[in-house]
Each structure stands twice: as C-alpha cells, then as structure tokens.
Amino acid sequence: MNFSSVRYDSNAIFVGPHNLARSQSHAHVFPHNQPQLRRNFIDFKRFDVVCALAKTTSRVNQSDSELNRIESLSQVSGVLGCQWGDEGKGKLVDILAKHFDIVARCQGGSNAGHTIYNSEGKKFALHLVPSGILNDETVCVIGNGVVVHLPGFFKEIDGLESNGVSCKGRILVSDRAHLLFDFHQEVDGLREAELSKSFIGTTRRGIGPCYSSKVIRNGIRVSDLRHMDTFPQKLDLLLSDAASRFQGFNYGPDMLRQEVERYTRFAERLEPYITDTVHFMNDALSRKKKILVEGGQATMLDVDFGTYPFVTSSSPSAGGICTGLGIAPRVVGDLVGVVKAYTTRVGSGPFPTEILGKGGDLLRFAGQEFGTTTGRPRRCGWLDIVALKYCCQINGFSSLNLTKLDVLSELPEIQLGVSYKQIDGISIQSFPADLRALEQIKVEYEVLPGWQCDISSIRKYDKLPKAARQYVERIEELVGVPIHYIGIGPGRDALIYK
C-alpha cells in the first residue's frame, strides 16, 4: 500500500461527529466513506500442577527480560481498551494467558470481537469466549456482568472444538449472567430504525436491549434455566413487553412455545458450564491463583465515560471489573491499556481526529480495519492524545500496549492530535462530555517524521528505526504512561517488549 502520494494537513480542523454537522470548508482534508458451583468442578490440586507445568512450558522461546515483564504483573491484572474498541486486546490476552491461571470476561457480550492466532498461525475470531481459550490449561470465566447469547455461545464452542481446541471443563458461565435472546437482537434493529438519522450504530447483537431488560428488572438469568417450570412465564413477560413497545415486533403463543422448547435443550447443554463464579473467583484468589481480566469494547464506549449516547451499554473501564466479576477493588492490580498506533471507530458518534476520504481509506485497507463481529468498515484517524490521556486517568493504567505500529510504516509523516481548542481559541483541558462542543472543537496536531520501511520482522525495541522509536517515546511523554508492549503484526510472536 503506497501512502507516499497522500499529503496530510497538520493544521486540519476537526470535522464533527459522524452524524452531526461537518465543517464543509475542510471536507477535502478528511472526507468520509461512510450448576451452582460444584465443589469438585475444579480439582485444585490438579489445577495447581497443570498451571505450574503450563508456566514452565511457556518460558520456551521467551527471553528472561520478557518473562520478568509478564511475571511481574499482579495477581489480578486486566487488559482494557483505550479508544473505541478494536485495539487488539485479544492478542495481548492470548499472549499473557499462559502466565495466568484464569482469564475472565466481566462485561459486554457477543458484540466484542477478538481476533487471535494460535501457535500454528491459524486465525480464530472470538466473541463471548475469553481469548485465553487457546492456552490449554487456562480456565475461562464468563462473569455475571456479561450478557450471554446461548446460540452464539454454543456455535463458538462447536467451532473451537472442531478446530482441536478443547473447551470441556475449561469454560465457566456465571449463574448470575443475563441471557440475551434472539428477540433482543430484533428489538435492537427496530430501535435503530426508530432513531432514524440519530441511530447509535450498534452491532445489532441485542446488547443494549438485554441490558435494558436487566436494569428494569424483568431480565432472565442463567440460573433461571434450572427452573423450567417458571421459565415460560418469565419469557412471556419479556416478549409481551417488547411487543407492546414496538409495533413491528410480532409475538404470539407459537413463538413462546418454540422458544421454551429451544431453551429447554439449551439448559441441558449449558448445565456443565453453569457456576457460581463469584465464589469461584474469590476462592481462586484465596488460593493465590493469577487472574487476567479481558475487557470488551473500550473506555470511550463506556456508558458513563464514553461519547454518550454513542456508547455501549456496559462499563468496559476499570470499574466494570469489580461489578462484573464480584471481586473487591483492593485485589485489582496492574491494568494494561491497549491503544492502536492510530485511532479507529465503528458506528456513529464523535471522532475528533478522523481522516476522511483517500487518507482514511488507505489507512483502513493497510490496517484491515473491518469489524471482527460485523465486518463493517471502521472509521480511521490519527492517534488522539487527549482521548488517550482521559482514558488513562479513568483507569489508572500501569502500562500501555501500542498495537499496529507496523501499519504506519509507509507514511511519509505521522500526526498526533495533541490538544483541543474551542473555535474562540480557548484550550479544552480534557475530553468533553458535550457532543456539541466536540462538534466545534479544533484539534491541534504535532507532525512527526515517518520511517517508511517494514518493521514487522523486528523483535527488539532498539532495532526499530529512529523515527519509530521517537513516535513511541513521544506518546509516552505526552500521556505519562510507559509503553511496555508494541505490536508489529497479527501473529503471536509479532510483539516487541520494551
């Protein structure tokens, strides 16, 4: 991909949110294309042995410095997104997982798409199952804060098993997690159609409607599958509520009967996975097991801290770890923020550093920026330092993982969005909550030289071109958080430890 013919304007002004008014005078710069826990479920004596063996085996092909970096991570560590998702969290989780006993999801649902590769280079697209599943001795937990679509869950397990990845006894699903039904997905689409030009741009996976059911307290939890005598009445209440709200939602007795029959079969198949994960997690903590939390989505999509209402319906920031797993804040230690070397966003909403037109298209194809879950093209832009600093403040990251640095390799120059100003020139100190303010701000850019050579085979930081190192170190300087991991390709080994 040749970027050399593209010229980027270092004085470019912000061109507003995706569905809000844009500055037409700068459109040429950035035009857009648009079972209750069984005490013997885990044999902890065997668990201790296999985890010790797995950790010993994982030392192969890793230097002492790399191992020290990973093994110094705290008992409970987390990997969270710093932008609008799609930063490459799954790869880091997969790499770190072999040094942890448990990998846990705490929020979101099948709208989280993580693409990872096994040791043979085979590609896996995961949605509900934690990315630690490719490491044979890792136990994967789907916590109470996750919304679970059972058809998708079993499809994912069948796909893993058919590719030689054993899931038996390795995945635990919280009995407190809420069930996401197909009708939630239908309602998601109806809601987006209702919003018309102000649509959120959801994945239409039913995440928002399922969390809505949870919050208004008529949702159905995994534990309810153990009481099929009352399950039909609860499901009828949910379906009747949707039918009363949306004229396009057709509900009748046949739908209820079919769904009850379907979920009776699901209940039988899910039973071996159902666990009191709150007890399991806290028991594991008392046994000094190491736990890695895998975040879905990212902080800029957090329902409280993101670009509301263009956000997800859960808390993918640090606070979601405790509420989504039932562990105390005091046990949470190192948090690694994952940030792409540039910025992408899927769906509607503000995107201050977005590159529109040819520049955005080139970056999109060079980075293969298409959604793992939906296949939708991602909007692309320069790295937004203001947003990144905001995310670091909210989460208290101990380090960062900078991903896809290799994608920038052919650029003649690279820009960093280092500050925001209002139209009157007054500086904005943090990422604003007001969408109207975001529509009107001007982004001030800092231009850095490109390195214009392939870095995908480099494995040592000091072997990177000087310009690449300058870019990494300038980000560290501006944000105030060290970058310990640098991604330079999709494969497991395409990672530089700094």
Question: How confident is the model over 55-97, as pLDDT tens digits?
Answer: 444 444 567 777 888 989 999 999 999 999 889 998 999 999 9
Alpha helix locations (H) across 352-465? 358-366, 385-395, 435-440
> 405 a known binding residue?
yes
Looking at domain 24-34+337-497, which of 3.30.1490.190, 3.10.110.10, 3.90.170.10, 3.60.20.10 is its CATH number?
3.90.170.10
Please write the tens of the pLDDT for every residue from 233-267. Answer: 999 999 998 888 888 788 889 999 999 999 999 99
Residue 35 pLDDT: 35
Q: What are the C-alpha distances in Å from 46 to residues 38, 135, 286? A: 16, 16, 17
Instruction: Give dist(CA 307, CA 386) in Å, integer.
Output: 14
Q: Given 98, 99, 114, 442, which residue is catalytic? A: 114
The CA-CA-CA angle for residues 348, 4, 347, to 5°, reads 5
> 247 a known binding residue?
no
Q: Given 86, 188, 334, 361, which residue is catalytic? A: 86
Domain with CATH 3.40.440.10 in the chain: 44-175+273-335
Residue 196 pLDDT: 61
> 159 a known binding residue?
no
Q: For domain 44-175+273-335, give the CATH number.
A: 3.40.440.10
Residue 197 pLDDT: 60
Q: Given 214, 340, 442, 498, which residue is catalytic? A: 214
Domain with CATH 3.90.170.10 in the chain: 24-34+337-497
DSSP state of 447: E
Domain with CATH 1.10.300.10 in the chain: 178-271
* Helices and strands in the chain, H and E counts: 14, 20
> 164 a known binding residue?
no
Compute CA 137 distance to the chain's CA centroid, rounded to the nearest angstrom: 23
* 214 carries an active-site annotation: yes
Residue 447 pLDDT: 97
Taking alpha carbons only, the member of 310, 276, 313 closest to residue 296 is 313
Peptide bond into 309 cis (omega under 30): yes
* 32 carries an active-site annotation: no
> 16 a known binding residue?
no
Instruction: Give dist(CA 9, CA 23) in Å, integer.
Output: 15
Taking alpha carbons only, the member of 460, 418, 420, 417 closest to residue 440 is 420
Residue 151 pLDDT: 96
User: What's the pTM?
Assistant: 0.85
* 86 carries an active-site annotation: yes
- List phi, psi (to 5°) of 442: -110, 130
> 264 a known binding residue?
no
> 404 a known binding residue?
yes
Residue 4 pLDDT: 38
**Dihedral sign, CA of 132, 137, 138, 140?**
positive
**What are the residue ranges in the chain where pLDDT is below 50?**
1-47, 49-60
DSSP state of 108: B
**Domain 178-271: top CATH class:** mainly alpha
| Burial of 226 per CB tally in 10 Å (0-12, 13-18, 19+) | middle
